[in-house]
Amino acid sequence: MNIRNIYRIATVLAVSFALLSCRAWLSVDSEDRIMEDELFKDTDGFYTALNGIYVDLVNANLYSGTFGPSSPDVLAQYYDTEADNHTFGSLALYQNEAKRLAVSNAWTRAYLMILNANKILEHCETASGTILNVTDYNIIKGECLGLRALLHFELFRYFGPVYTVSPGADAIPYMDVSDPQVMPVLKATEAAERILDDLDKAASLLGESDPVITLGKNETDNGGRNLYSYRNLRLNYFAVKALAARVNMYLGYDSNREEALRLAEEVISEAAEFFPFSTRDEVTGQAAIGAVTESAEDRILSSDVLFAVYNVRRGEDIYEKYFSNSLEATNLLAISGNGYRNLYPEEGDLRTYQWESTKDVLGNDIMSFVKYEAMEVDGKNYPYMIPVIRMSEMYLIAAECYADKDDGLAYARLNFLRNARMTSSVSTNILSNIENEYMREFAGEGQLFWYYKRNNMPSIPAIYDRSRPNISMSTANYVFELPQSEDGFRD
């Protein structure tokens, strides 16, 4: 079965599951219990429930927006939002009300997905050894724990403090139950510990059974259930370890950085053969259809993506909503030619394929972000992928960790990535060059702002136009208040 069809079917199942879940989890009458038990009566039902979570990750309040290409990159100053009444103008100025509005729906949606994961985890225990064999138990439970950790961490980065400044400050509730209830807001140290604990358990389970360890992505269509295929579209063993490296790096203390380095190096060592960096032929479409063709370009450089969510409406949900040059100036996210040239000083950089010189509706020259523009390439999944975790991040984490102990290793890791993206090696200003690679590497993926936050950067560049002065930042700019609905509910 084609992966697009799998996800379309899963979308229907996810809706059914969501409707079922609202009834089955919020009440306990006999009919609801029968419906819930019916879903989890066999292995297929467990995978249907799990697919429902993956399908909903593409929601605009999650990875098609708030956790990916919109809010975090606006905060990171990628885009010019200075037009009068720009949709994202107040957010780009870090105004509190705009920050609240930007993430309030993400809070609700993420915790709903966490409750879904917890319900599956609950049923895993009763089904172990009967309905679920060892392999399915390890994969389903491992992925659910990983997803629970991932979603909590996304919320933690928004609502938690700058960790190295105020680790004892309030962060978020950690939801590990399957019924909606008020959970206490944990201190950042406690929430971080829970996230890392879930990731450690997930890695242990997936390490026993995940086919990614020996088969890699396994992008094969066997015409059937494909439960163990397309591992780059699942939170697989390597992605879980990479996420643990990201979390430890974000926490920032020496012991965390040591653990981040260990995990990053393990992922590089174990996964590099399965997740190599994209070649120019792949990026230009040559490898896909036999000719350099704009409509077949792999603009997300998908080969090294350890985990991506899969959105068959990616063009409409992301490109047409935020980046199309047909948008009015008040809605368009774009950068100037000056910003683009400073971002990519080397013309051969493969990441330049993510941008296109064009004009906006007023006839102004702009660089349009076409990374997520709609396209369809037979037999390929990259036109629908939204990257969440990449191998490239492991090289940047390693380079940053080595920077204060071994310049040679630091530059080796950084230059490996730079050369893979077809740019030249560097030999000076290691930390500045690492920051520049974060800017180039994760456009549209929502990672740069969190790099700034974990380092508590006192100022950040206006990427959209480097002729402008840097933007002064305070610790308050990096922290989001809990949604008003949550405050009111707790009061």
pLDDT value of position 488: 53
Q: Determine the pLDDT at residue 23.
A: 31
pLDDT of residue 223: 58
Burial of 81 (0-12, 13-18, 19+ CB in 10 A): buried
pLDDT of 24: 33
pLDDT score, position 180: 84
* Average confidence (pLDDT) per 10 residues, the chain, 491 residues: 40 39 34 69 93 96 96 98 95 97 95 96 93 97 98 98 97 93 95 98 98 94 74 98 98 98 98 98 96 96 98 97 97 96 97 97 95 94 97 98 96 98 98 98 98 98 94 97 70 49
Q: Which domains does the chain possess? A: 3-279+387-490 (1.25.40.390)
Please give the model's pTM, rounded to 2 decimal places: 0.93
**Half-sphere exposure of 424 toward its Cβ, with a 13 Å CA cutoff?**
6
The pLDDT of residue 439 is 98
